Amino acid sequence: ADLFERTAEELARHGLSCECLGGGRLSHRPEERRIHVYGYSVGFGRADHAVTTEKLKAEYPDYEITWADEGY
């Protein structure tokens, strides 16, 4: 929530707005080139991890990127 609030405030200074579509967690293992997306936000609910995973794959094509709805 703190990150979202800071981002929303910064965007508002530029005349823009944003909406949080949910949250989750990342497990990043750079030495293994792996990222796992999982969990949810108590305040914002669960994000669509499939969308998050696709965005990460575009940015990190040499990583194994997985997701699951389980976990907190």
Q: Establish if 6 belongs to a structural domain.
A: no
Residue at 14 is within a domain: no
Above 80 in pLDDT, residue 36?
yes
- The pLDDT > 90 percentage for the chain reads 86
For residue 33, the model assigns a pLDDT of: 98
Residues 6+ apart with CB under 8 A from 37: 24, 25, 26, 49, 52, 53, 56, 65, 66, 67, 68
What pLDDT, on the 0 to 100 scale, is given for residue 71? Answer: 72
Question: What is the pTM (predicted TM-score) of this model?
Answer: 0.80
User: Which comes out higher in pLDDT, residue 71 or 15?
Assistant: 15
CATH of the domain at 52: 3.50.20.20
The mean pLDDT value for 7-29 works out to 95
Domain residues for 58?
22-68
Q: Is residue 2 part of a domain?
A: no
Nearest 10 degrees: CA dihedral of 36, 23, 72, 65? -10
Is residue 1 predicted with pLDDT exceeding 70? no
